[in-house]
Structure formats: structure tokens, C-alpha cells
């Protein structure tokens, strides 16, 4: 009996040890992958266009489901904002898209006032559209800018992406910046298709520089380096211009759409004709099945058999 109890305890102990080993192995295999997914999801969340690169210098790592924030931002408000974003908005779409996987956030971000945004603007003109990106100090400056652009380019579709940030640095020379705003209509006069595109940039210091559409992001960023504008920010500002199709491309797409529409119309007409033919065939078959059958005759009709002439002809 003692021997049996000893064996049971031994097996129980081995089972517990095996379970713990498997659990540790599973954690070591699963946890790093989850931590990587969480870090990527958090980085994607704070890199949204609506944040305009404000959190580009913030680093995010995970220990389990706890986030660790480091890096730099310009203000305490930005530090609190990025912490709130990571705490509340991170999701893992491929696993549990509605559940918040972050259980804690440890904020070690350094607040560096020297990182405050310096005002800058990038104005692009392409096709029938205009777009303005950048940072301004006040809402009044924004209103004045877009009012001036509206008079400069009447009837154009204006995409307003410039952000008003009261915590940004003061504008160096706003009145001169507005006064020297490039005359887009004159600069684009006589140009067609993609040639009718241009880029104008300023550090809001009273000077603008006009670039051709083929300029690189790095060249524009270099001109705006006094405002600490990155090539990534330039790329975002020029995205609409870069992706604008040429006139030939627009014509080709329209031709393809018309071709597809014509093929779809022919397919519908063919299907309707086939359905009509089938319905007529089915109706004909039903009519034939419903008609009374004609009795078969042998050796002539029944009238012939019963007629007097037939009786007279019968052998005696």
C-alpha cells in the first residue's frame, strides 16, 4: 500500500513538473511574438496622419502587455497624449480586434521644449486641386492664408492640411510671407497635364521657394531644415501630387471602365436572351404534356370498321 501511494505521488509530481515545463516553453514561444505585434500596432497607431509626425521620436516596447514609452516630445501635453493613445487605442486586428490588449503604460518620455514645431508651409498645385500642409501659430494666420490662396486660385479644390498649434514657435515674418505668396495661376499658365503642377515651400520667414513636380522629398526637406521638417513629412505633404494620374492614364482608365461596362451589358443581354429562350421552351414542353393524346388506329379508322360497306365486304 505504501509503495502504491509513493508511486501515485511520484506520478503527480512528474505531471506538475511537465505541465510547468510546457507552460514555460509556451510562454517563451508565444510572448515574444505578442510583444512584437503589440509594439508594431502601437507604432502604427501613433504614426497616423492626424498626428503629423509629432510622435516620430517616441519609442515603444512591450514587456508582456505592459507598454514602455521612451524618446522625446516638445510638450508635457504631447507626452500625456501619446500615453493616452497607447493606453486606449492600440488593437490587434488579427487576434482580438475589439479588446484592448494594453494593461499598463510606463511613460519615460523626455519633454524637450526645443522640439516645439517651427511654423512652415508646403503648398502644392496639381490638376484642379490644391493642398496646403504645415504648421501655423494661430487660427487667424490660417484664415488669412486660405483667404489669400482662394483669391490666388479661384475655383480650385483646396485640401487644408495645415495644423494650427498655439504651442509652436512664433512666425518670423508672417505679413511678408503672405505678401510674397507665389502667383500659382500665373506660374501654371499655358501648362497642361502633369506639367501643370508645382510645389511652393516656406519657413514662414517671408520667403517662398517654388519647386518643379519632379523635386525629391529630400530637396524640399533640406530647404525647410530650419523648421526641422523631415523627408517623411514632405512625402506626406506631396502624396496627392505624386499619385495624381496623367491625362493619358485618366483616358486609359475611362476607356477600360467603358469597356467593362459594355462587356457587362452584353453579358446581361445574353443572360436575358437565354432565360427567355429557356422560359419559352419550358412553356412549350408543358403545353405538349397537357394536350389530350390521339387514340391509335389499326387497319383503318373505327368508322371504316363499322360502316355498311365494311360489313358487306366481310366473307360469308
Domains and CATH numbers, the chain: 2-114 (3.30.1340.30), 116-242 (3.40.1520)
Walk across the sheet containing 120-126 and list its strands.
Answer: 157-164, 129-136, 120-126, 197-202, 209-211
What average pLDDT does this structure show over 139-164?
A: 83
- pTM score of the predicted model: 0.52
Residue whose entry in the numeric block shows the C-alpha cell 443572360: 271
Average pLDDT over residues 286-312: 58
Residue 152 in this model has a pLDDT that exceeds 90 = no
* pLDDT computed for residue 23 by the predictor: 47
| pLDDT bracket for residue 72 (50, 70, 90) | very high
Q: What is the mean pLDDT of the chain?
A: 81
Interacting residues of 109 by C-beta distance below 8 A, sequence separation 6+:
58, 69, 70, 71, 72, 73, 79, 82, 83
pLDDT per position as a tens digit, 15-37: 655 555 554 544 454 567 888 88
Helix axes 76-89, 2-46, angle to 10 degrees: 130
In sequence order, what are the residues at sequence separation of 6 or more whose Cβ sits closer than 8 angstroms to the Cβ of residue 284? none
Residues in the chain: 316
Query: What pLDDT score was predicted for residue 304?
Result: 47
Amino acid at each position: 500500500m505504501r509503495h502504491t501511494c509513493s508511486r501515485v505521488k511520484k506520478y503527480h509530481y512528474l505531471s506538475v513538473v511537465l505541465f510547468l515545463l510546457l507552460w514555460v516553453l509556451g510562454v517563451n514561444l508565444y510572448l515574444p511574438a505578442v510583444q512584437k505585434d503589440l509594439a508594431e500596432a502601437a507604432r502604427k497607431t501613433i504614426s497616423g496622419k492626424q498626428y503629423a509626425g509629432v510622435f516620430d521620436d517616441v519609442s515603444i516596447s512591450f514587456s508582456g502587455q505592459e507598454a514602455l514609452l521612451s524618446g522625446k516630445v516638445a510638450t508635457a501635453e504631447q507626452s500625456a497624449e501619446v500615453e493616452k493613445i497607447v493606453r486606449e487605442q492600440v488593437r490587434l486586428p488579427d487576434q482580438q480586434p475589439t479588446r484592448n490588449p494594453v494593461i499598463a503604460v510606463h511613460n519615460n518620455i523626455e519633454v524637450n521644449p526645443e522640439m516645439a514645431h517651427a511654423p512652415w508651409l508646403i503648398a502644392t498645385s496639381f490638376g484642379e486641386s490644391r493642398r496646403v500642409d504645415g504648421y501655423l501659430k494661430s487660427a487667424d494666420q490660417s484664415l488669412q492664408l486660405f483667404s489669400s490662396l482662394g483669391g490666388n486660385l479661384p475655383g480650385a479644390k483646396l485640401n487644408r492640411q495645415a495644423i494650427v498649434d498655439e504651442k509652436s514657435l512664433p512666425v518670423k515674418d508672417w505679413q511678408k510671407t503672405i505678401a510674397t505668396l507665389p502667383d500659382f495661376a500665373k506660374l501654371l499658365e499655358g501648362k497642361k497635364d502633369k506639367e501643370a503642377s508645382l510645389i511652393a515651400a516656406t519657413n514662414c520667414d517671408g520667403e517662398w521657394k517654388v519647386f518643379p513636380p519632379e523635386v525629391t522629398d529630400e530637396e524640399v526637406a533640406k530647404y525647410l531644415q530650419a523648421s526641422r521638417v523631415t523627408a517623411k513629412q514632405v512625402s506626406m505633404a506631396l502624396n496627392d501630387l505624386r499619385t495624381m494620374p496623367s491625362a493619358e492614364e485618366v483616358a486609359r482608365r475611362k476607356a477600360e471602365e467603358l469597356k467593362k461596362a459594355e462587356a457587362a451589358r452584353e453579358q446581361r443581354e445574353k443572360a436575358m436572351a437565354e432565360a427567355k429562350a429557356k422560359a419559352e421552351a419550358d412553356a412549350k414542353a408543358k403545353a405538349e404534356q397537357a394536350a389530350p393524346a390521339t387514340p391509335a388506329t389499326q387497319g383503318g379508322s373505327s368508322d371504316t370498321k363499322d360502316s355498311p360497306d365494311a360489313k358487306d365486304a366481310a366473307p360469308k
